Homo-oligomer: A and B are copies of this chain.
Amino acid sequence: MNSWGTKFRLSIFGESHGKAIGIILDGVPSGISLDLEKIRQEMARRAPGKSPLSTPRNEEDDVQIVSGFFDGKTTGTPLTVMIENTDTRSKDYQPELLRPGHADFTGFCKYGESHDYRGGGHFSGRITAPLVFAGAVAKQILKEKGIFVGAHISQIGEIADTPFDKVNLDKETLLLSANQEFPVLDSRAGESMQKQILDAQRDKDSIGGMVECGVIGLPAGIGDPFFDSVESRISSMMFSIPAVKGIEFGDGFNLGSMKGSCANDAFEVVDRTVRTKTNHNGGINGGITNGMPLVFRVVIKPTPSIGKKQETVNLKTMENIEFSVQGRHDPCIVHRAVSVVEAGTAIALLDMIL
């Protein structure tokens, strides 16, 4: 099913080469003055076609509000937006050639012959555009509660950015990347990363990476011990972003080689408030926020569309063949994914907080 959330519920629709894509947001409180310019900026962060690092598909992701908005404010009834698909070149696609790493094969397994394969259809990364809209709305509501969400590129290939300071993450650092085209904390690492991407592109190849996300201002006590733990809800949303293949909270996989005496975050009282001295647990104990910064990382696999020759199958003839993916594609989507990760995080948290 293509909806998510209990109190702030999304329902997405659309295919890459159909008439339009969009989203319904249900549970949006009434009376919220949406900052449409800010929303447009968020959409632009994800949109393609701005630099040599991205696909030249050039769409403005122009959002039309269809319902739930009256006299500049949300009405409390479903807030619906549509984004028309304009720059589509469906002739680029041959459905019988299964593109490795893509959902062409699984799409046919699930939906049968009526599957809309064009441009990845409903599996397309383009469907994350409505998620970014939803995230922009969620961020505005969270901001009024003093909660801020930010992310940056944590790694591209072998090049790593400076990680967030999990204990003293401040608002300035957190939001630094919102205004960067290629959002990193360490600009020199950023330059090396961009070089890696251009190298991959030159080789008709693509490259993966990681995104680190942080949240500050969260009150302690959000989440549930089981099934609706903060980790369960955020991961459920993150794995809805195409290309995400892993997630880790706090020190994550490093905790596997740690001792309890190191991994436990000691409590201390500072200014009559309970905090932890370290933050190996990423701000979550027993599935529930403890008031420290929430920090996690996701890994984004390399874009499957590459110009290099690949082995695959012709589903019609059932023959093994070689081919290279034609059409426009990104050598890397990690930098574009940053705003999507932020959006998903904002959505998941707002659903838990409302």
Contacts of A18 in B (CB 8 A): 66-68, 70
Q: Are B1 and A9 in contact (CB under 8 A)?
A: yes
The answer to whether A133 has its CB under 8 Å from any CB of chain B is no
With an 8 Å Cβ cutoff, the count of chain A residues facing the other chain is: 145
Is B73 touching A257 in the complex (CB atoms < 8 A)?
no
Count the copies. Answer: 4
Q: Are B109 and A220 in contact (CB under 8 A)?
A: yes
Q: Is A288 an interface residue (CB 8 A)?
A: yes
**Chain A 6-22 against B: per-residue CB contact (8 Å), 1 yes, 0 no?**
10010111110011111
Q: Which 5 A-B pairs have the closest CB atoms?
A: A103-B286, A246-B248, A109-B221, A206-B260, A101-B264
Please choose the segment from A163-171, A174-182, A207-215 that sits at the chain B interface, where 4 or more of its residues have CB less than 8 A away: A207-215
Given contacts A2-B227, A247-B235, are A66 and B267 in contact (CB under 8 A)? no
Contact residues of A between 59 and 107, Cβ < 8 Å to B: 64-68, 70-71, 73-78, 80, 82, 98, 100-103, 105-107
Contacting pair B260 A303 (CB below 8 A): yes
Set of chain B residues within 8 Å of A65, measured between Cβ atoms:
19
A252 interface hit (Cβ, 8 Å):
yes
Query: Contact check: which of B101, B226, B233, B245 meets A252 at CB < 8 Å?
Result: B245
Given contacts A267-B311, A290-B106, A304-B260, contact A2 B78 (CB under 8 A): yes
